[in-house]
Amino acid sequence: MANYNVTISASGNGPNFMLWQGSGGTSSGAALALLAGDTVSFKKIGTYSGSFVISGFSTGLWTSGSNLTLTTSYQSRTVKSGGTVGFVDALTATAGSKSQTRYFEVGGLLPDLVIDDINDLIRPNGSTNHAITIGGATATTTYEIRLTSSTGTVIATASASSPNGSLTVGNIPSAGASRTYYVTGRRSAANGGNNVPSLILSYTVTHESPGSSLGGGGTGGYGMQVFTASGDTVLDVTDRVVIFADHVTGSLTTSELTKNVTLDRAGTCVIDMTPITVPIIGGLAQRQDILHTSISGTTLTITRTSVYPGGDSSQAAESTNYNFLVVFDPVST
């Protein structure tokens, strides 16, 4: 832990002048970065006989938020643990009619909060856990699954050395209910961070009620019939029924040509909810926004032929968003 010294000098009856000597940035953009456990010590010097006061201590950075009346001996303030990286605090020294302000901030590296999407899940009745896939993670960040909120109880933690891959979460809502889970990331002090969790994303798990299922519709000798009030059949056992499988949204980064997304259940057809409407701009085919899809079981593969307009690498690479409705047609299987 480091210690920094500050001396406030003031002389004369007014005082006539005042000077902040030592640590602290002269603007918020040049704030001195401090780590948990660091201390800053303050004292006064000079002929001014009035009160010297340091104010502005925020509990977002310091363990104490009270003002400090200076003496000729050093008095210290300590940086708290668990502060938000980048939080800036302005301290003002006042002696009579004179004042000066210096800036300090919570130092440390931020966790990597950019990972692949995690879709909502439906688990069959009787399940005791659920599994998710973490992708795009880095080993400098600890990834955790929490209940209630981004600061709630940790119920699962990804491998520290290789966080990418399948993670089994030993928690599931009661039958017939849904529950939201929160994925957070934190960077430990050993990795240059402050070990405070930050929310990355959330997903929902639904636990089916006893006897419920997601069948393929009336394609056999048994099924469901729907009638009008007058008794006319509007849906018969042998009618072809196409059902909703999943709604998938997300993006391809400037470096991604392909991406696999795990669906809630198997699908057979993909409908683009926001298809490209202007495929050529300035004579360049917008290949970065023209998306192709294929489905194999519960895996939806999204591809494009280039990240550049017109496939021209002299152009700037672009990301693109997708918004797909996936349906299941039992007849096509």
- Residues 6+ away with beta carbon under 8 Å from 23: 4, 5, 6, 32, 40, 102
What average pLDDT does the structure give for the chain? 89
Whether 109 has a pLDDT exceeding 90, the answer reads: no
3-106 placed in CATH 1.20.1050.10: no
Length of the chain: 333
Segment 56-72 shows an average pLDDT of 96
Contact criterion met (CB below 8 Å) for 128 and 56: no
Give 215's pLDDT tier (boundaries 50, 70, 90): very low
d(CA 227, CA 145) in angstroms, rounded, equals 46
User: Cα dist. 325→157, 284, 328 in Å?
Assistant: 31, 28, 10
3-state secondary structure of 102: strand
Whether 218 has a pLDDT exceeding 60, the answer reads: no
d(CA 101, CA 18) in angstroms, rounded, equals 11
Per residue in 154-204, pLDDT tens?
999 999 889 999 999 999 998 888 999 999 999 887 888 888 899 999 999
Whether 213 has a pLDDT exceeding 50, the answer reads: no
Contact criterion met (CB below 8 Å) for 21 and 100: no
Q: What is the pTM of this model?
A: 0.48
Question: Where is average pLDDT lowest: 27-31, 232-236, 301-305?
Answer: 232-236
Segment 270-276 shows an average pLDDT of 93
User: Cα dist. 71→13, 46, 66, 176 in Å?
Assistant: 17, 11, 16, 66
Instruction: Show me where the domains of the chain are located.
Output: 3-106, 121-207, 240-332
Identical fold between 3-106 and 121-207: yes
Give 108's pLDDT tier (boundaries 50, 70, 90): confident
Residue 237: per-residue pLDDT: 66
Tokens 């519960």 correspond to: 298
Percent share of the chain, pLDDT over 70:
93
Whether 211 has a pLDDT exceeding 80, the answer reads: no
Pick the residue with more confidence: 110 or 4? Answer: 4
d(CA 135, CA 171) in angstroms, rounded, equals 21
CATH classification number, 121-207, choose in 1.10.3710, 2.60.40, 3.30.420, 1.10.1790: 2.60.40
